[in-house]
Amino acid sequence: MREPRGPATIVDMSGNRDRLKTTFDQVAGSYHQARPEYPAALYDRLIAAAGLRPGDRLLEVGCGTGKATIPLARRGFPITCVEPGPALARQARRNLAGLGRVQVVTDALETWRPPAETTFDLVFAATSWHWVDPAVRYQRAWAALRPSGHLAFWSAFHVVPEDGDPFFAELQDVYDEIGAGLPAGTRLPRPGELPDLRDEITGSGLFGAARIWHFDWEVSYPAEDYIRLLDTFSGHIVMAAWQLDRLYGEIRRRLARRPGGLLRRHWGAALHVAVRLDDPAHGPG
């Protein structure tokens, strides 16, 4: 489970994907505790939408430390996880130990091939689909699925409701000062406003029209927990020490002035589910 950048919700990935997608391996030890859990209702909707039954085989793309793997493994699904980060894969194996038929393979979807005669009922990605090469990701998912299998993905993003915490907007002066501010005119989306990839999915010619559901939840963070969260965002991982010192010092100072010392971060995710076309508009490549 990965987020493209800290203060921004949606960023231009062109030219940055290969550089940033490897940064998460540096924070494998703290990633699992720092990142939020997804709502149980999201998994319920995923299972219903994909028509999953006990014993169906799942392929997870970019499992990270297993944030989304664990809830599905506990529901009895055998899961093969493909994770390119060696440290993340090791952490995932530790977190998933004893949870049944779960295998973590250190590889990327772009290069990994399933064993002969092996197909999956669901290919899914939790806050990782945007890191996979868009030139091949739908073809690779299509090839791994059984006939009429499903593709599903979602990402955890920062959304701001009308009554959301103003802390993030107020902190932008510090991001600007350290050269990591949001582009002019950027507005964080409200709940239910996350963009979707339905046109990209159908445009692949390999999957039917996507069904999309939005989920929202809120987490309260004291300063140190919030800093640990930021430390798992690629945009912060690549910051210089002086930038982090300035930013984190200001976060501590400002939250110390608040009653209770907490900030509220509202999360949103758009779950996409699409069925594999068994007679695709063009070949899987």
Strand partners, 106: 83
Is the model's pLDDT at 179 over the cut of 70?
yes
Give yes or no for residue 258 having a pLDDT over 90: yes
Q: What does the pLDDT look like over 7-60, one tens digit per residue?
A: 333 333 444 645 544 566 777 777 788 899 999 999 999 999 999 998 999 999
pLDDT at position 283: 62
Whole-number mean pLDDT of the chain? 90
Confidence of residue 250 (pLDDT cuts 50, 70, 90): very high
Distances (CA, A) of 142 to 83, 173, 207, 279: 18, 45, 8, 11
What does the pLDDT look like over 230-242, one tens digit per residue?
998 988 988 999 9
pLDDT score of 2 more than 80: no
Rounded Cα distance between 134 and 151, Å, is 15
Rounded CA gap, 228 and 249, in Å?
A: 13
| pLDDT over 80 (residue 3) | no
pLDDT in tens, 192-221: 999 899 999 999 999 999 999 999 999 999
Question: CA–CA separation, 100 vs 254, rounded Å?
Answer: 45
The domains of the chain, with CATH numbers, are 17-160+188-218+267-275 (3.40.50.150)
The pair phi, psi for residue 32, each rounded to 5°, is -65, -40
The average pLDDT across 160-186 equals 93
Tell me: pLDDT of 157 over 60. yes
Q: Using the predicted structure, report yes or no on whether residue 115 has a pLDDT greater than 50.
A: yes
Q: Do 75 and 42 touch, CB atoms closer than 8 A?
A: no
Greater model confidence, 166 or 29: 166
Can you say how many angstroms the Cα of residue 266 is from the centroid of all Cα atoms in its chain? Answer: 15
Identify the pLDDT of residue 100.
83
Query: Residue 80: is its pLDDT beyond 80?
Result: yes
Instruction: List the beta bridge partners of residue 211.
Output: 273
Rounded mean pLDDT of 254-270?
97
- Read off the pTM: 0.89
pLDDT value at residue 123: 98
- 90-112 pLDDT, tens digit per residue, is 999 999 998 989 999 999 999 99
Instruction: Please give the backbone phi and psi of residue 163, each rounded to the nearest 5 degrees, phi first.
Output: -100, 25
